[in-house]
Structure 1
């Protein structure tokens, strides 16, 4: 497993330009998709780290599974606010009003890998294609995003990119996915 991880570090750096930090120790896989991940965000904030990600609660008739797991991923979340600023005569600066938090933007980078048979990861690519084509939001579980996304917030996939791989690694396919948070609202007609 360490040879695969070292190779992924180099491949990630050659494709995406940075080298993510690898969390060492037992059980460093799926457990980081659950919970708040507060220890991780305090320790590794503003550092790229290998952090598994799970798309869950996929309850769609034409989708084959209830979740989609990405063990080799790096995630980034960013947010901004909309603030109305009004300049006032005889006052320095502006008056700020009408604050609202925009949707969170999430970038997910990593690899689809067939590490069992070392062949083209067609099953993962087909499952991701179906996930992308869903006309609904899904739950995203990751130690970093769990801090920012509330229980009723889901994500939608806005776009993705599958860059080419050089060097004969046909069982590895890099990906870059752009997501946006989606809050669930209930409209009540009175």
Structure 2
């Protein structure tokens, strides 16, 4: 089965329909051809099925399947003028990308014999959830690895908010995360030394 970008199938995820990025990219596309014109702007505001991994100081947590929606903010200065309705808008620059992620942790496991471990697979995913929450509480930027976010040059994010979603499965916990893109920068201080003679 082959897909093209113009006819990418919708992938169901709960009540959300998302475009499958990985299936579209991995189907014999020539990235160097003139016909290939895919870019991140095509997917702004579109829920997209992809993968993502958080990294922080050697620790890693991986989500093979999640839905990510990316939007672009703008930095605009508004100035009210006396005697005039509305404001004067001055476009300053592109702002941060806002990133919404929806995924789940699950305790379902298959043992070495290819059989389901019933006891473990039906337990609440407490350990996986605790590890996720430790990452979400980090008061620093997190490194992210995601083919989808790479389209926008996003390699670091800051978690803005997160929440859990009630489900009917005892072995699965869905969640959503709101993030902002983060660009590391260095501040260089140029100190002029005055020499008094």
TM-score by length of 1: 0.66
2-side partners of 1:39 and 1:181: how far apart?
Answer: 21
Kindly report the root-mean-square deviation, in angstroms, between the aligned alpha carbons of the 2 structures.
Answer: 3.3
CA drift at 1:85: 6.2
8 Å CA contact retained: 2:141, 2:182: yes
Q: Decide which of 100, 125, 132 is 1:128's aligned counterpart.
A: 132
- C-alpha change, 1:40 and 1:126, in structure 2 (3 Å) is farther
CA drift at 1:20: 2.7
Which structure shows the higher helix fraction?
A: 1
Count of aligned residue pairs for this structure pair:
156
- C-alpha change, 1:175 and 1:185, in structure 2 (3 Å) is same
TM-score by length of 2: 0.64
Which structure shows the higher strand fraction?
A: 2
Q: Indicate the structure whose relative CO is greater, using CA pairs within 8 Å and at least 6 residues apart.
A: 1
Q: Decide which of 155, 159, 162 is 1:160's aligned counterpart.
A: 162
What is aligned with 1:74?
67
Structure 2 residue matching 1:83: 3-state secondary structure: strand
Question: Which whole-Å deviations, capped at 9, do the CAs of 1:12-48 have from their partners, x for residues lacking one?
Answer: 11xxxx23345559x89xxxxxxxxx85858866543
Structure 1 gaps, min length 5: 1-7, 29-37, 60-64, 89-93
- C-alpha change, 1:95 and 1:143, in structure 2 (3 Å) is same
CA drift at 1:115: 2.1
Q: Decide which of 145, 149, 152 is 1:148's aligned counterpart.
A: 152
Structure showing greater radius of gyration is 2
- 1:20 aligned onto 2:18: yes
Structure 2 residue matching 1:149: 3-state secondary structure: coil
